[in-house]
Amino acid sequence: MRRLPSLRGLQAFDAVARAGNLAGAAQRLGITPSAVSHRIRGLEQELGLDLLRRTPAGLRLTEAGRRYRAEVEGAFDRLARATDELLGPAAARPLTISLTAEVGTRWLMPRFPRFVERHPEIETAILSSYRVADLAAGEADLALRHGTGDWPGLRAEPILRFGVSPLCAPALAARLAGLGPAAALARSTLIRDVEADNDDWDAWLAAAGAGSAAPARVLRFENYTMALAAAVAGQGLVLGYWGYVEAELAAGTLVQPFELVVPIDRGYHLVYLEQRLSDPRVRAFRDWVVEECGEGDGAAMAPG
């Protein structure tokens, strides 16, 4: 029997094939992109075949890589299912949900007591991390994941799509009253969330006719919770994501200085392996989330 290649190499190849890039694969595995690349090169050397082609546009699977991907993904999925069957669905471990602290704090936790009340028999574990859990490997049963919904091999149901508009403390809004976006930006600090806002600020500024405007200064934070706190403290303009910021708007600690709200194509999705719906706990959580969303949360959110 031919010796099996390195399991770490196979995991790296599987992660890249599912994520489509080294950065996404590195998040799945909790290692650096260079380590992922090193493991794949080792796997290619073991096999004597090129599985990935490195192009200016990014990584592309070779013909051999495409054939191997189907088998490798299938093998990991079968291992995950076999583990579930071995351990048993309900008693072996808690229902595990992976998410970031922001969506956990701002969307799930205010609603979660209703799930517990409805299903007191289901033990749950909430994993809060920016690392993307590998659902196929059994690291979590479901995830609340931010993106466009395109995760190969996974079912993604939209639960929260965003519209965006700048927000600031009332005192700053008073100082900016009567100014257009470009003039207001020139007198203000722009607060950026390096984890989440990506090009969303640029999209709003372009839609507002202020695409070439420059802020007086830029203040960057690691996550959205810190960025919002800075805006509440009067430090500048933060991008408001409707669906996240209702508490601050209702309390009056943040206000909307401009009426324009721009929809964006990314949002939060409930993500899971289709076959995991055979576990009644997974189906119960999925059905509850869909019910909580109703008709409002799945669309771009706007104030009021």
Mean pLDDT by 10 residues, the chain (304 residues): 78 86 76 83 89 82 89 82 61 82 88 93 88 85 89 88 92 94 92 73 89 87 87 95 86 94 88 90 94 58 40
Contact (CB, 8 A) for 192 and 165: no
3-state secondary structure of 234: coil
Question: Is it true that 7-87 and 95-160+266-293 share their CATH fold?
Answer: no
Give the ranges where 21-62 is alpha helix by DSSP (H): 22-29, 33-47
Spell out the domain ranges in the chain. 7-87, 95-160+266-293, 162-264
Model pLDDT, residue 169: 97
Closest CA to 102 of 252, 231, 267, 263: 267
Neighbours of 136 (CB within 10 A): 19
Place of tokens 């094939």: 17
Model pLDDT, residue 262: 92
3-state secondary structure of 262: strand
Model pLDDT, residue 78: 82
Closest CA to 267 of 150, 175, 177: 150
Q: DSSP character for 188? A: S
CATH class (in words) of the domain with range 162-264? alpha beta
- Homologous superfamily (CATH) of 95-160+266-293 is Periplasmic binding protein-like II (3.40.190.10)
Q: Cα separation of 102 and 227, whole Å?
A: 11
What fold characterizes domain 7-87? Answer: Arc Repressor Mutant, subunit A (1.10.10)
Whole-structure pTM over 0.75, yes or no?
no
